[in-house]
Structure 1
Amino acid sequence: MEPSHSNDLHNERIRTRDGLTLAATFSGERGQPAVILLHGGGQTRYSWRSTVRSLGALGYHALAFDARGHGDSEWSANSDYSYDRLSDDLQAVAATMTSSPVIIGASMGGMTALHAVGRSEASFARAIVLVDIAPRIDPKGLKRVSDFLNGHRGGFANIEEAADAVAAYNPHRPRPRDPRGLMKNLRLRDDGRLHWHWDPTFFRERSDIKREKHAQRLLDMCSNITIPALLVRGAQSDVVTTHGIEELRARLPQLEVGTVPGAGHMIAGDRNEAFNDAIMPFIERHARL
């Protein structure tokens, strides 16, 4: 289809059911087919900046928001970052759209989307895209993610140190010549150091028992999910396994699966154009019904 040229990015604020304010960025016009994008743990809405802009240019009303405790969204006073609260937030955002959205969720965002759709008696979404996530994932990959998110609690002396940490976590991704884009994820605190801009209490260590209970609960919820579903996996991901995908497909027989070559867990950041190519046919089929 011809581009609409309405791909400028705009910011807005959305109130949650328990009174927090979420920061959101959108492109496209209200009334166009809706798409909501959820970032992964420790990221912000800016990880979707290119995809939001591209979707707006193609005639969608695309919106990405910072999860509570992340980026420019408010932190929970009682550190309530459960998937029930994250799901409440997603439904509050969806309620601001003029039509049922396609939901795209990366990692934590994908888990939130599964949880929100699976617990609902009537689906509020048109379709769902999971980005390198499944209810049960590789423990070693999870530990690597957890070590990165829970490390560097003392912050960084400068942006170069932060860029070093990201490069060590993503050794397959070329290091940007100009690391200033990382400032979207960093804030200067009173100690004079740069810290990741998320609530440290968000990433409390969870026991293996709690993670297993959550995975099983999520799989059980899948019986309520009847909308179209797509899982996009990074070929170099150490988080999503073939077993995890097949286990999910057994609960979601409508699940389609695609793979992005040369990408790890952070697919959109590793190979954004290839990621967009992988999801667009699915979105075109289901967002405009």
Structure 2
Amino acid sequence: MVSVDRFYAPDGLDLAVETRHDGGAPTLLFAHGFGQTRGAWNGAADVLAARGYRCVSFDSRGHGESGRVAGGDYHMDQFAGDLQALARAQPEPPVLIGASMGGLLGLVLAGEARPVPFRALILVDITPRWETAGVERILAFMQAHPDGFADYAEASAQVAAYLPQRRERKREDQLKPLLREGADGRLRWHWDPALLAGVVSESERYQPRLLAAAARVEVPVLLLSGERSDVVSRDTVAEFLRLVPHACHVEVAGATHMLAGDANDAFTREIAAFIQDVFPGGPTRRPAIPQEVH
């Protein structure tokens, strides 16, 4: 069963929150990346909920069906506050699964907040220091179509060009949650354009704070990285593992920064295996497939 509710952030902004298998345990809290929605987790959340986990995903402020900040005054601390409040609202501390921006927010909270709002942390292709070229490629795509698209076919073609590793193009039903029709009839991305000016300008300044937070993380940590990622590299992974020596690292073969979408089966399998190792007695672990994960 899937339910969608509204959650009110500390400053009163409303967030769209989706829950699967409300009676399951432990709770897995999914935090998406910049420019994404909770829909990025649908494949993984469906599989993991079916295995007995309670899965909670949400649209970050300014994204998807969540509220937008009046005047476009976005700051990273707002996003961190939202995530902390949502984590503390769960029946017990959740396992955080954070991709890109969502992972960075989780890392800050795991290192700074006391008590720690998570029982474990799973970072999806993100480290405290990242490869600038990869981030710039993502931002270039987000900035490339300010006037939107004439129809879903045009949007699908642009997404396919951005994600050439995907075999299938996005269908109209898959694109509808990601696009909004404007008064002029054109389709534009779901996120608030003001995010580009606010959050992006703060991201580089966040790195010293992220590095310091990582060194203070004590909860179990799994870092999943894509073999073909241009955001995370061997150097950034090595630095992270020096900062968090108890962390586990798995590189997913063939995957890019969009790891969950590129290799959802391997992604969900590694999450379930990690949680079962850290919290034995939960849903049964399924063995990894060696040729897919290195």
TM exceeding 0.5: yes
Q: Distance in 1 between matches of 2:271 and 2:48?
A: 11
Q: Distance in 2 between matches of 1:259 and 1:211?
A: 25
The amino acid of 1:244's aligned partner reads T
For residues 209-248 of structure 1, the aligned pairs below 5 Å read 211-248=203-240
Q: Does residue 186 in structure 1 map to residue 179 in structure 2?
A: yes
Q: Alignment length, in residue pairs?
A: 281
Q: Distance in 2 between matches of 1:287 and 1:200?
A: 41
The amino acid of 2:118's aligned partner reads A
- Alignment TM-score, normalising by the size of structure 1: 0.92
Cα gap change, 1:177 to 1:194, in 2 (>3 Å):
closer
1:5 alignment counterpart: none
The amino acid of 2:159's aligned partner reads V
Q: Distance in 1 between matches of 2:199 and 2:133?
A: 14
The amino acid of 1:62's aligned partner reads C
Cα gap change, 1:177 to 1:100, in 2 (>3 Å):
closer
Q: Distance in 2 between matches of 1:159 and 1:167?
A: 12
Given candidates 118, 124, 143, the residue that maps to 1:125 is 118
Given candidates 263, 278, 281, the residue that maps to 2:270 is 278
Does the CA contact (< 8 Å) of 1:30 and 1:98 recur in 2?
no
1:70 alignment counterpart: 63
SS in 1 for 2:235: helix
2:166 alignment counterpart: 173
Q: Distance in 2 between matches of 1:99 and 1:25?
A: 17
- Alignment TM-score, normalising by the size of structure 2: 0.90
Q: Distance in 2 between matches of 1:259 and 1:46?
A: 23
Deviation at 1:287, TM superposition (A): 4.8
Does the CA contact (< 8 Å) of 2:75 and 2:198 recur in 1?
no
Q: Does residue 251 in structure 1 map to residue 265 in structure 2?
A: no
SS in 1 for 2:126: coil
Residues 62-107 of structure 1: CA deviation (Å, up to 9, x unaligned) = 1000000000000111434322111111111112211110000011
The percentage of counterpart residues that share the same residue type is 39
Q: Does residue 263 in structure 1 map to residue 217 in structure 2?
A: no
1:21 alignment counterpart: 14
Residues 45-78 of structure 1: CA deviation (Å, up to 9, x unaligned) = 0111121222221221110000000000001114
Say which is worse superposed, 169-178 or 116-125, in terms of deviation. Answer: 169-178
Cα gap change, 1:177 to 1:199, in 2 (>3 Å):
closer
Gaps of 5+ in 1: 1-7
Q: Does residue 40 in structure 1 map to residue 33 in structure 2?
A: yes
Q: Distance in 2 between matches of 1:177 and 1:20?
A: 31
Q: Distance in 2 between matches of 1:45 and 1:281?
A: 23
SS in 2 for 1:100: coil
Q: Distance in 2 between matches of 1:270 and 1:207?
A: 25
Deviation at 1:205, TM superposition (A): 7.5
Q: Distance in 2 between matches of 1:134 and 1:48?
A: 20
Q: Distance in 2 between matches of 1:76 and 1:212?
A: 22
Q: Distance in 2 between matches of 1:101 and 1:287?
A: 12
Deviation at 1:176, TM superposition (A): 2.7
2:192 alignment counterpart: 199
SS in 1 for 2:10: coil
Q: Distance in 2 between matches of 1:262 and 1:242?
A: 15
1:111 alignment counterpart: 104
The amino acid of 1:148's aligned partner reads F
Deviation at 1:177, TM superposition (A): 6.7
Give the CA RMSD over aligned residues.
Answer: 1.8
Residues 92-139 of structure 1: CA deviation (Å, up to 9, x unaligned) = 111221111000001111111112222212211100001011111111
Residues 136-157 of structure 1: CA deviation (Å, up to 9, x unaligned) = 1111111101101122111000
Deviation at 1:265, TM superposition (A): 0.7
